[in-house]
Amino acid sequence: MTYSTILYQVDDRVARITLNRPKKMNAISLKLCAEFQHALEVADRDPEVRVVVVTGAGGRAFAAGFDLTDEDEKGLEERTLEDKKERKDRDFKFNYSPFNCSKPVIAMINGYCLGGALEFITMFDIRYCSDDACFAVTETRFAVGILTLGMPWVIGQRCRELIFTGDTFGAMEAYRLGLVSRVFPKERLDEEVMRIAKRISRVAMPTLKWNKRALNNTLLAAGFDSALRQGADACLLMNNSESEFRRFHEVLRYQGVKAAIKWQQSTFQPFESDSSHAESPSLNG
Q: Supply the residues annotated as catalytic.
A: 119, 139
Compute the half-sphere exposure of residue 161: CA atoms within 13 Å on the CB side of its CA: 8
* Residue 92 CB contacts under 8 Å (≥ 6 apart), including other chains: 147, 148, 228, 229, 232
C-beta of residue 60 within 8 angstroms of C-beta of residue 117: no
d(CA 160, CA 274): 20
Residue type at 160 in one-letter notation: R
